[in-house]
Amino acid sequence: MHRYEENRGMKVAIMQPYFFPYIGYFQLMASVDLFIVYDNIKYTKKGWVNRNRMLQNGKDVMFSLPLKSNSDFLDVRDRELAADFNRDKLLNQIDGAYRRAPYFTQTSPLIEQVVRHEESNLFKFLHHSIISTCEHLGIATEIRVSSDIPIDHDLKNQNKVLALCEAVGASTYVNAIGGMDLYSREDFRARGIDLKFIKSKLFEYAQFDNEFIPWLSIIDVMMFNPKQQIIEYVVSQYELASVTASVQPKDVGLATGIS
């Protein structure tokens, strides 16, 4: 009998950690009972683990966490922030972009708390940022770290997802919409697990007087919208489906939690 057999009926999602990801990441979290964050997964240089996009002078620009130079084959949990990471510089970049935003005063303390967190390990830094943002938005989903769950962690891709789901007693696995082609519904069904994909509805709002740019970092959403409106969108404005026709723009980095 599995350790978590009593939790049968539970919805589970599994994803890499990202730095202030877009709102769909938090919708995925809110749609499940348990959210597993990968720490023992290979860091992807061109992914979204330590970078994202924000609005600056009417355009989407990248912001990022600088990392210590190291092997490209290390897991996320083995990467370190650069010793010369200038937290003030990053905060000034974000403040300069959003100082005139209507909810800057409400949002900036969270941003500062996250960026000034005194942790050099990349995963621990990101884990803290995710938990802090969830607390700010009132998302109460349980969050666990993948390496803490007793499975064969040498498994890869779908096999690892299935093992994690079985270990925690999941009846439903929910994945971001971009990962549809990576999983076999039949394989999940054979294990007694329903496979679902989350599709976010577009959340459009005023970004100063600029043409709207969708799917930016959650920072952008929080700077321009009252917290209650964000929470209502997060918990309701999505669909859970077995099949869908399209992938959302700018969503490739969140297609799946595995590499």
> Tens digits of per-residue pLDDT, 204-223?
999 999 999 999 999 999 99
Which domain does 108 fall in, by range?
5-254
pLDDT at 121: 98
* 228 within some domain: yes
Count of Cβ atoms closer than 10 Å to residue 12 Cβ = 26
Task: Determine how β-strand 142-145 pairs with β-strand 238-241.
Answer: unpaired
Spatial CA neighbour of 149 closest among 28, 36, 22, 19: 36
Q: Any residues with CB less than 8 A from the CB of 152 and at least 6 apart, and which?
A: 163
* 36 within some domain: yes
251 pLDDT exceeds 70?
Answer: no
How many domains would you assign to the chain?
Answer: 1
* 259 within some domain: no
* 83 within some domain: yes
SS3 at position 28: helix
What secondary structure letter does DSSP report for 38?
Answer: P
248 pLDDT exceeds 50?
Answer: no
What secondary structure letter does DSSP report for 58?
Answer: T
**pTM value?**
0.89
* 107 within some domain: yes
43 pLDDT exceeds 50?
Answer: yes
pLDDT at 45: 85
pLDDT at 195: 96
187 pLDDT exceeds 60?
Answer: yes
Spatial CA neighbour of 122 closest among 46, 49, 47: 49
* 25 within some domain: yes
Count of Cβ atoms closer than 10 Å to residue 90 Cβ = 17
Q: What is the mean pLDDT of the chain?
A: 91
Spatial CA neighbour of 231 closest among 87, 53, 59, 27: 27
Q: How far is CA 147 from CA 76, 137, 155, in A?
A: 12, 26, 12
pLDDT at 243: 57
Please list the residues that pair with 36 across neighbouring strands.
Answer: 14, 144
- Residue identified by tokens 């003030």 is 88
Residue of 2 and 236 predicted with greater confidence: 236
Contact 125, 65 (CB under 8 A): yes
Which tens digits make up the pLDDT trace of 122-180? Answer: 999 999 999 999 999 999 999 999 999 999 999 999 999 999 999 999 999 999 988 88
Task: Determine how β-strand 170-176 pairs with β-strand 194-200.
Answer: parallel
pLDDT at 232: 96
SS3 at position 69: coil
